Structure 1
C-alpha cells in the first residue's frame, strides 16, 4: 500500500517517533528530589479537526477563561465531549497509512501552575507525561517542547530553563487519530486524552540518571549477585545484606530469592551526589533450559490472566488503589501471572507486582490487527521500514522504563501484528539490551524472533500434541527444530466472555502433565462495560454500538473474569478452583485423602488444613488435619478421622487448605484450596401408599395434592399454589459462547439452534389417560418446518401430600444438532421469592464450569440467583441439586426433589425475555417466577473466541428419563 506522499507530513501523520523527548530511562516512584504533580482540573477545548484551531492557545497570554474544564488524567469522551467507540480489529477510519481522517477530534488542554516555594534552584527539571492517546504537541510557557507518540509509554522533556516561579502555562494539543493509531489497534475502546499522570521532576546537578539493576540468583549456592549499571557515579546500599558498593561493582552474598510465590524484596538505595533513590531489589534468574522456562532453577507454571487497564467510569485512567485492588483479587483467586495486554501498564502496577508476587509478561504498545483484513497483511507497519524507528522507539521506552522490576520475566514484542522486519529489529534490540529475559510474540508461528512458542485459543487436542512435542511440523526443518525445542504457553485462552469459560479443568490437567506446557493467560481480567444510566436512573454497562459507532464489535469488549464494577464473575470463582496450587483428592467412601503440593517454590508450611464431615443439615464433626510441609511436587496420603456421630443420609468430607497467617494479600483463614469426598451415599426413601387420580368438577383432574387440566393434562394447582406447566423445555437464552460470532458457522450452536427452531418449539397433546394410580400425558414437542421431534411422556403419580412426575423423552428423526437444555419449565407465583436448595453452590455452574460448585445447603432470593452478565444470557443454574424449595415471606412454598440430581434455575422473567434483552435494564420482573428443572445442560465452552465444548459436554438428543417430586411442606422446610 505505497502511495505518493507530500514532502512534509504534518507531525500527527508522520510515522516517525515523537520528537524532543529526553532519552528513555528507568522509572521509579520516588526519590529525595522535588516533584510536583500536575494532575488536576485543566482548561479544555475540543475541535472537530486537527487544524481547526491555530496554535495561539499555547501562548501564556491566551485568554482561555471561556473554556470548559476537564480532569487530568482523563479521556475527554467520558466527560461529555464526543463519545467512546469500540472495535476489536477494525480500524474505525479508512486504512491509508500513515494518513488519518480530516475529521480528527482534537483536544486542546491548558494548565497553569506555580512552583512551590521550596522548589530548588539549580539543576534542571523534566516534564513527564506517562500516557497520552494518540499523539500530542506540547508547549511550556509558549515554547514548543516536542511531539508525544506512543500512547501508553512515557516521555520526558527538559524544561528547567523555561520554568517561572509563578504562572507557568502548560499547553497540550491531543489528536484522537494519528499515524500512531495504526500501531494501537488493541481490542479496546478508542479513548483519546491525557489519561496518565503528568509530573514535573526536579533534576538536581548529578542526579540519578538511568540505571539497570542486575540481581541474579544461583539456586545451587543460594547466593545472589548484585550489579547496578548507572550513567552517573553512584553507590548502592542494601542495609539488610550489609552491602555498600559502587555502580559497576558486583557483589555476591547469600540471599532469599524473589519468586511470585515468595516475593522477597530487599530495601536498597541508589545515591549520587545530587539524588537518593529508594530501590526494592529481588534476586532471581531466568533461563530456558532443555526446552523449559525456569526461574531460579525450577520450571514455573503460569496461572495467568491478560489485563487491560480499565475502569467503568474513567476508562484507562486507573488509580493506584484500583490497581492494588485488582492484584489483591488476583492473588486471592490463585492467579500468579499477568500479561500486560497489549501495552505496558501504568508503571506503578509493576511495582505492586514486585511487592505482592506475580510473574509478568510486559508487552509493548503495539498492535496492527486491522491489517489482517487486507490480503497478506498488505501495508502492515510491522513490515514497512518507514515505521521501524517508531517500533524500536516503543521497544526501547518499554524496556528502559520497566527493566528493574523482578516481576517481569518475559518481554513481549506486541500483539497481532503479523510478521515483518520491524518486529525482527525490535527483537534484536531487546535481546542486545537485556539478554537475560526471553522474548515473546505470538503472531509468528515460526518463532523466528522469539524464545517461546506461544499460541492463542488452541484447542485441547492440539495443546496435548504440543505438550508431547508432536505438533504439526514447519516446512523449514531448522525453524521446526528450533520451535519444537521451545517452552510453550497459551498467551490467550479460555475466552471469558459472558457465561463461561468452559473447559478450564481439562486445560489445567494438560499443563500439569506435560513439562513443556507452562500454562496460559485467560482472556481477560475485566469486562470493559462503560457505566451508564437509562432515563429513570437505572444503571447498566454500555458496550460497542451503544454510542452510535458506525463500526463496532458489540459486547465483545465484555470478556472478563470481573464484571465492570469489579465484582468477581462465576468464571473467576471457577478459575480459582481449577488453578488452586494444592491438589486434594481421594476415592469416594475410602476416608483417605491425597494431598499434593502444586506450588513451584513454596512448601506447604504457610497453609493450615482442616476437615469437616458434613451432611444435609450441616457439619457433623470437624477438626484440623496434620499435613507435613510438603516440598513442591510432593504428595502425602492421610486417613481422615471417623466422626463420633455419623449421619444416616448422604454425607461428605470437605477438606480445606487456608492461610495459616496473614499475608500482604489476604488474612489468615483465607481459603486457597478445597475438595469434597463422598462419605455416605443417600438411601432411597421408603415407598408411601399411592393415591389414585379422579375427575373433579370444572374440567379438572385431581391427583394427590395436584389439580390438573383435564383436556391438556397440565398441572394447574398444587395445594393452593397456582402452577403453570410443567412442560418440556429445550431452549436457553444463548450465551456469548453459544453465539460464537467469530467461529465458523458450524461451530455456532445458537445459529444451528435457531435455524432448527429450538427457540419456538410447539407442543401437541397426543393423549391424556388415567390408569390405576397414574395420570399419563403423551405429547410431541417439535419445531415448525421440521419432522424432528421429542416424544415426551409425563407420568404423574402421588401420595396424599406428594406429587411425582416422571418424564420420558424419546427423540424422533435424525438429530444432528445438540440440545441447549433438556428438562421442564414451570411458572410459580411471584410471591415465592426466596429459594433454598441442597446441592451444588453457592454460585452458578454448568457441565464444564462446575469445578467450583460444592455440595451444601444454600439459601438466596430469586433475584440473587441471577448472574448480571453485561449482555443478558443463560445464567444462574445450580448443579447437582437434590431438592429445591421456593418460599414466600411466611415460609410456605413448593419443594421439588429430583431423581437423579438436577440443574435448578429460577428467575422473574421467561427465557424468551432473557433472550430478547440487550442490556440488564431490559429484564423487567413479571408476576411469576419461572423455574427450570433440567436433567441436562449443554456445556459452555469458549467458542466466543476459541474452541467449542469438548465432546463429553455436548447434550445430544437421546432417550432420557428423569423424575421430580413436588410437595408443599406444612412446616416450610
Structure 2
C-alpha cells in the first residue's frame, strides 16, 4: 500500500517558488468537517461529493487534531514511537478524514490545489476524483485541480494518516502532531521565477530564470529578459541593513512581485563571507511552536519571534529541522536575519539500532530524499535571507547525501551547503558540529583539531569555516558559558559563530499542569521535559538565558581605562551611526549624573572627565555606559538598548571635597525601635547577664535577636519569628544537573538529606558560638561548621561561619550557604547588587550592579519544569519588608540571595509549575557560592572555573534592623 512505499508521492506538480501573484486564488482555510479513525483501514467513500458528513465533528484548518480533542500529542526526541521496521508502520494508525465544501467564483477556470503542510501522509480528492497523495510534512505540494473543478459547489476531501513510511524521515526532536497544519489554497498561479541578485561589496548584478520580463523601477530596470545579467547601483542586503527592492515579473496571465535583496555568500581562506566581508552568526535554532496551536503558527506569532530575536541581538536562525512557513522567511528578508534553511529530514532513531537500515544510505529512499530537497530549494530560492541550504539533521551518513547535495549545487551554486551529521564534511561546504566544548572550539579556531583519517578530506575540511549548528543547550536554568563561547567566536576568523539550541520551550497548554511535556499524555515512550529547552517560555516571555544571550551577542564592545572608555564596533556591516551613547553614574544604586557620550562613527576612545567631582553619598559608585537606538527601527523603537557595560568608580569627594556620609547599610546611628525589638526579657531584669549576652528562660538574647539555648539556633530576629540559619549544600537540581549526572552524584553523597549535629553552644567574649558537624548519613564525609554571633551597634548582629571539610569530597557540591525561614508576611526585597534578574557563576551576564526591588513572588523564574532559580548575585545588602517590619542583611563583602514561598525540598519534588503552592513561610538562602550551570543537559558541563569544591572558608554577614 502507498503508506508503506519508498516513493515520495504521486500526482503532485513540479515544485516552484513561493511567490506573490495577482492571479486569482481562493483561501480554503477555515472550518472543515472531520472524522478520526483508529486505523488506516477505513472505506474512502467519504470522498464522494454526496457523502453525508452531518454527524462529523468540526475542525479548524490549519491545526493539529490532537490539540482539538482528537487523540493526544506525543513527544520523543530520538526514538521512534513505533517499531523500527522500515517502511512498515503500525496497524494502529490514527487517520483523519477532512471534508470542505466551497463555491467556485463565476468565470473561474483551471487552478492548483496547494497544501503548505500536512503531517504526515495526505491523499486528496476533488469532487470524488483522486488527485494524488503526498508526504513531506513541512513542505508544500500542489495538485492540478483544473479538470475536476465545477461551477458552483465543489467538495474537497483529504485523508491524513499519522504514520507512513515517510515518518521514518521525520524523527525530529518535537511533538508528533498530525493534521493539516498549514494553509490550503486554490490558486490559478503557475509562475516560477528564480532571481539572482549578487553584490561583491562594490557592485551589484541582477538576472533571473523563468518566463516573462522583469522590471525593477527603483533601479531603472525595465523589460529584463531571462538569462540576461545587468549591473545595477543597488545597496547590499544584510541582516543588519536589510535593503529590499521590489521587482515585478510579468508573465502570460499573471504578474508576480518579489522583494529582491542583493548579496553574495562566499568562502575564502576558511572564512565565511557575505558581500566580501566576514560573517559572524549570532544565531538560534527555531522550531515552529505555539502552546495552543502547536506548529500551526500564525503570522502574528512569526512576527513576534523575529522582533524578539532582533531586540535581543540575534542575527541568524537555523530553521530546525524543516523549512518554516514561507511567511517567516518573508519576515527575515524584511527585518533582517541570516537563515540556514533546513530540509525536512531526520532519521535520528536509527542510531538506536546501530544505524542499520538508515534511509540516508539506502538507495530505495533516494527519490524521497531528493524530492524533499528539491521542494525546499525551489520554494525558498528567492529569499536573500537564506544564505545556506541544510541537507537535514541527525540522519547519519550515506550515499543519499551525495544525491541531495549534488542536485542542490547544480540548481543553486550561490549558497553553501550545510550538514552536521557527517563530520568528514564530504558533501558539505562548512564544518558544522553540535555541542563541541570550549576547548574543542578553540582548537578548531586555531586549526589544530584532531585530523581525519583521510588526508584529502582532512585538508578540505581545514579549509572550511566552522560553525556550531547547535550549542549552549537552553534547557531550564541556563545556559552557562555563553560569554566564553562568544569570546572564541570573535577571536578566531575561522569560527563563523553558531546557533543556540533552541528558541522556545515546547510546553503545550494543559488544564492541570500549566504546560505539558513528554509523558503528560500517557505516552508509553517519551523523553519527558527534553522538549522544554528554549530561550523563551511557551508564552514567549524571555528567559534569563535570552537576556544573557543578548549580552553575549552585543554588537558594541566597551573597555574601560584610566579616565577613558574605548568603544568597539562589532557590527559586520551597519556601523555605529544608528546608535546614541549615554553614561550614568550611580552612588549605592541611586543616579547622581547622566550625560551623553560623543562616540566617533567608527568607534574609538572617549574621555571621561569630572567623575570624581560628582556629588554622592559616599557609597559604592558605578559608571554604566549604554548604546541605544537613535531612531525608530522597524523592529524596535528609539531608545531600545543594544549594548551596555559597567565599571566601578572611586568614592565621591562630594562638592565640598569631603565624603558624602555613611553608606546605606553601614553600621552606626541605628536604634532598635520597640515595635521591632526582640520579644524576650532584657539583661538586668529577669534575665541572667553573661558578658554581653543575656539569658531569658530557654533563650539566649544577643543584640536584637534570640537563640534557642539548647541548639544555638536563631529563633527571633528584630521581632520576626525565624528558623535558622544553618549550613546548606543542596539545591533543587537544574535540568543541567539532572541530565548531566551531577544530581545522581549529589544524591549518592546524600547532600539532599544532611544531618546537623550540635557539638557545643558557647557564650563568652560578648557573643554566641555554635559548633556543629554537618554530614550525610552512610558516609564519613562531613563539614565542621562554626557559627560565631556577635552584637553590633544599634542592636544588630554579625555572623561569621567557619567551614572546614572532612574527608575527600569526590564531586562539586550544589551550593555553600545558609538557609533560614522568615514569616510569610515578608513581601518585598530591596537589594544593592547585581540584578534585576537571576545570576549564577556562569550565567547572569545580563545583570548589572544597581539598586533593585521586587516582591518575593516576582523573584521566581517560572521554569516549566521547576528547579533551582531566582538567585541574585553579588548582593552588598538586602532589605526585607512586610507586615510593618523590616530588617537588612549586609555582606562582608557580598553574598548570594534567594527568597521563595516554598522550601527547597518542595521545589525539588515539583514537576510542573502548579505543584508549587505558597506556604506560610518565606524560605531565604544567603549563599557564599553556587556550582556553575553549564549546558550538560546536552553538551559540556560547567567550565572548571565554575565548579564548586568544598574547601576551608569563612562566610560573614551582618543583620541590622531597618
Instruction: Tell me which interval the TM-score lies in, with the shorter structure as reference length.
Output: over 0.9
Task: Supply the distance in 2 between the matched residues of 1:15 and 1:680 (Cα, whole angstroms).
Answer: 73
Cα-to-partner distance string for 1:216-251 (whole Å, 9 max, x where unaligned): 1121xx221110100x23333333444441222211
Match of 1:394 among 354, 369, 372: 372
* Mapping of residues 122-133 of structure 1, within 5 Å: 122=109, 124-133=110-119
Task: Supply the distance in 2 between the matched residues of 1:17 and 1:161 (Cα, whole angstroms).
Answer: 23
Q: Secondary structure at the match of 1:404?
A: coil
Q: Is the 8 A contact 1:234 1:273 kept in 2?
A: no
Task: Supply the distance in 1 between the matched residues of 2:194 and 2:151 (Cα, whole angstroms).
Answer: 34
Q: Secondary structure at the match of 2:440?
A: helix
Q: Secondary structure at the match of 1:944?
A: coil
Q: Find out whether 1:908 has 2:890 as its counterpart.
A: no
Cα-to-partner distance string for 1:403-424 (whole Å, 9 max, x where unaligned): 0000000000000000001111
* Mapping of residues 559-958 of structure 1, within 5 Å: 559-587=533-561, 590-630=562-602, 635-642=604-611, 644-647=613-616, 648-680=618-650, 685=666, 692-740=691-739, 743=740, 748-799=741-792, 800-890=794-884, 892-958=885-951
Partner of 1:555: 529
Give 1:145 deviation, angstroms.
Answer: 0.5
Q: Is the 8 A contact 1:613 1:643 kept in 2?
A: no
TM-score (norm 1): 0.94
Give 1:886 deviation, angstroms.
Answer: 1.4
Match of 2:278 among 299, 304, 312: 299
Match of 2:520 among 546, 553, 564: 546
Task: Supply the distance in 2 between the matched residues of 1:692 and 1:834 (Cα, whole angstroms).
Answer: 36
Partner of 1:415: 393
Cα-to-partner distance string for 1:668-697 (whole Å, 9 max, x where unaligned): 000000001111269995679999543423
Distance change >3 Å, CA 703–CA 889, structure 1 → 2: closer
Q: Is the 8 A contact 2:219 2:232 kept in 1?
A: no
Q: Is the 8 A contact 1:692 1:704 kept in 2?
A: no
TM-score (norm 2): 0.95
* Structure 1: gaps of 5 or more residues: 1-9
Q: Find out whether 1:87 has 2:66 as its counterpart.
A: no
Task: Supply the distance in 2 between the matched residues of 1:446 and 1:246 (Cα, whole angstroms).
Answer: 42
Q: Is the 8 A contact 1:843 1:876 kept in 2?
A: yes
Cα-to-partner distance string for 1:790-831 (whole Å, 9 max, x where unaligned): 110100011242111111111111112111001101100000
Q: Is the 8 A contact 1:496 1:560 kept in 2?
A: yes
Q: Find out whether 1:425 has 2:414 as its counterpart.
A: no
Q: Is the 8 A contact 1:693 1:775 kept in 2?
A: no
Q: Secondary structure at the match of 1:913?
A: helix
Partner of 1:6: none
Q: Is the 8 A contact 1:593 1:640 kept in 2?
A: no
Cα-to-partner distance string for 1:775-801 (whole Å, 9 max, x where unaligned): 100100000011111110100011242
Distance change >3 Å, CA 141–CA 650, structure 1 → 2: same
Cα-to-partner distance string for 1:651-679 (whole Å, 9 max, x where unaligned): 01000000000001000000000001111
Task: Supply the distance in 1 between the matched residues of 2:952 and 2:612 (Cα, whole angstroms).
Answer: 42
Task: Supply the distance in 2 between the matched residues of 1:948 and 1:658 (Cα, whole angstroms).
Answer: 34
Task: Supply the distance in 1 between the matched residues of 2:614 and 2:566 (Cα, whole angstroms).
Answer: 24
Q: Is the 8 A contact 1:236 1:247 kept in 2?
A: no
Cα-to-partner distance string for 1:386-445 (whole Å, 9 max, x where unaligned): 101000000000000000000000000000000001111100010111011000000001
Partner of 1:272: 251
Q: Secondary structure at the match of 2:584?
A: strand
Q: Find out whether 1:164 has 2:153 as its counterpart.
A: no
Distance change >3 Å, CA 387–CA 399, structure 1 → 2: same
Cα-to-partner distance string for 1:106-133 (whole Å, 9 max, x where unaligned): 000000011234xx444x2011000000
Partner of 1:211: 193
Q: Secondary structure at the match of 2:334?
A: helix
Q: Find out whether 1:311 has 2:300 as its counterpart.
A: no
Q: Find out whether 1:33 has 2:35 as its counterpart.
A: no
Q: Is the 8 A contact 1:44 1:67 kept in 2?
A: yes
Q: Find out whether 1:358 has 2:337 as its counterpart.
A: yes
Q: Is the 8 A contact 1:311 1:318 kept in 2?
A: yes
* Structure 2: gaps of 5 or more residues: 653-661, 672-689
Give 1:644 deviation, angstroms.
Answer: 4.7
Partner of 1:438: 416
Q: Is the 8 A contact 1:692 1:703 kept in 2?
A: no
Q: Is the 8 A contact 1:620 1:643 kept in 2?
A: no
Q: Is the 8 A contact 1:335 1:579 kept in 2?
A: yes
Task: Supply the distance in 2 between the matched residues of 1:814 and 1:237 (Cα, whole angstroms).
Answer: 74
Task: Supply the distance in 1 between the matched residues of 2:633 and 2:250 (Cα, whole angstroms).
Answer: 31
Q: Secondary structure at the match of 1:873?
A: coil
* Mapping of residues 58-207 of structure 1, within 5 Å: 58-117=47-106, 120-122=107-109, 124-203=110-189
Give 1:889 deviation, angstroms.
Answer: 4.9
Q: Is the 8 A contact 2:171 2:347 kept in 1?
A: yes
Aligned residues: 931
Q: Secondary structure at the match of 1:389?
A: helix
* Mapping of residues 382-531 of structure 1, within 5 Å: 382-531=360-509
Task: Supply the distance in 2 between the matched residues of 1:79 and 1:59 (Cα, whole angstroms).
Answer: 26
Tell me the C-alpha RMSD between the 2 structures. 1.5
Task: Give the stretch that moved more between structures: 814-823 or 156-165.
Answer: 156-165
